[in-house]
Amino acid sequence: MELANRVKTLTPSATLAITAKAKELKSQGYDVIGLGAGEPDFNTPEYILKAAEDAMRNGFTKYTPAGGIPELKQAIINKFQRDNGLTYNSDEVIVTTGAKHALFTLFQVLLNKGDEVIVPAPYWVSYPEQVKLAEGEPVFIEAKEQNGFKLTPEQLKSAITSRTKAVIINSPSNPTGMMYNQQELKELGDVCLDNDILIVSDEIYEKLIYTNDKHVSVAEISEQLKANTIIINGVSKSHAMTGWRIGYAAGSSDIIKPMTSLASHSTSNPTSIAQHAALAAYSSNEDPNAEMRDIFSERLDELHSLLNDIPGISCMKPKGAFYVFPNVQEAVRQNGFDSVDEWVKALLEEEKVALVPGTGFGAPENVRLSYATSLDALKEAAKRINRFVLNHQS
């Protein structure tokens, strides 16, 4: 049977491919250290688990409104006011089956065939695929390493055409962990306002920052930018709730309402029990991020230092998320490999360390390592990578 053209353009996830290979080796009894994980290695906090249990016991196991239960939407509205100084009403918020679903639904309602979305590279692997599934065209701009992997206003201006519909801003970023400051966001935002381009602001890592820098949403800067921005967020990273699949989008009701209509015909609603768990996450005075931030910060300091001691590897220190994105091109060259992908594959086969090649993120000279694993595992991984590099020195 002939499949739809839209799925023929999809690129397999580099993250899932390396994870599958690592699992295969583990099943064969090998001691594999997997550094591809995109989720905190903590269980969901107990008070959230208790809220989910109570929801089940109390019969909250039925369909809900497509855009989320009113109580959770209000808790999200309160969160925006408390954390970001932003005011939204219920018609401007949709709860989705994970932040990924929020993005997917947004592009489906936003894009017509041939519409362009500017995607700064390095990028999260699903951005371009979701744009293509909506029959749009991702336009890649290299956010250069010497500029902290950040897009400049000049680069943004040069990429705009008559077909440009939106630009994606992800801060803190997956895969680089970089962050934009307020002035940088304002300058990018001004370009978007001048050219009537929607800003898609992915803020899923906003709570995982390891410096004194404050997370800034571009929507905070002015009412004009708020009206021109759709914020994507969720509880997955901030509350160690990746498997619960609760995300949300906030912005103009002209966009949120059709997103809700589309969701009603795709998922019907986010899982009722997970919504009550997310409600507890945003209604509690507890800070589940504090312990994670302290532990992630310690791991980052150690891993960053160890990687920079390995010949041919240079690693910028990120400010947020839980990834490092070192440049390994010199090590690849010295080790006699033709590409980072080949180098990563050989590293996994010989030293049983699973990294994600930067190719899938639009950065073929880099690799992504997640430090969402134990400090001991990170130290051992760095030791094995160093041994691999030294053994292949030409």
pLDDT at position 288: 77
Average pLDDT over the chain, rounded to an integer:
96
Per DSSP, the three-state class of 170 is strand
pLDDT tens-digit readout, 143-162: 999 999 999 999 999 999 99
The residue type at 196: D
Nearest Cα to 244, choosing from 41, 52, 17? 52
Measured CA to CA, the distance from residue 248 to residue 102 in angstroms comes to 6
pLDDT at position 211: 96
Residue with tokens 């109570």: 54
pLDDT at position 21: 84
**The CATH number fitting domain 61-283, selected from 3.40.640.10, 3.30.1330.40, 1.10.10.10, 3.40.50.2300:** 3.40.640.10
pLDDT tens-digit readout, 230-277: 999 999 999 999 999 999 999 999 999 999 999 999 999 999 999 999
Nearest Cα to 270, choosing from 245, 236, 239, 235? 245
Whether omega for the bond prior to residue 288 falls within 30 degrees of 0, making it cis, is: no
5-43+288-389, what's its fold?
Aspartate Aminotransferase, domain 1 (3.90.1150)
Classify each residue of 140-164 as buried b or exposed e, where b means 16 or more C-beta atoms within 10 Å of its C-beta: ebebebeebbbbbeebbeebbeeeb
pLDDT at position 164: 98
The pTM (predicted TM-score) of the whole model is 0.96
pLDDT at position 37: 80
Nearest Cα to 49, choosing from 204, 280, 297, 311? 280
Measured CA to CA, the distance from residue 172 to residue 383 in angstroms comes to 28
Nearest Cα to 11, choosing from 368, 360, 362, 356? 360
Measured CA to CA, the distance from residue 185 to residue 97 in angstroms comes to 28
Residue 311 contacts residue 390 (beta carbons within 8 Å):
yes
For the chain, the domains span 5-43+288-389, 61-283
How many other β-carbons are positioned within 10 Å of the β-carbon of residue 300? 22
pLDDT at position 34: 92
Name the E strands within the chain: 33-34, 93-96, 116-121, 137-142, 164-170, 198-202, 229-234, 247-250, 323-324, 353-354, 356-357, 367-370
Measured CA to CA, the distance from residue 187 to residue 61 in angstroms comes to 46
Measured CA to CA, the distance from residue 207 to residue 19 in angstroms comes to 26
Classify each residue of 69-80 as buried b or exposed e, where b means 16 or more C-beta atoms within 10 Å of its C-beta: beebbbbbbebb
* pLDDT < 50 positions in the chain: none
Measured CA to CA, the distance from residue 394 to residue 391 in angstroms comes to 9
| Tokens representing residue 52 in the block | 């989910």
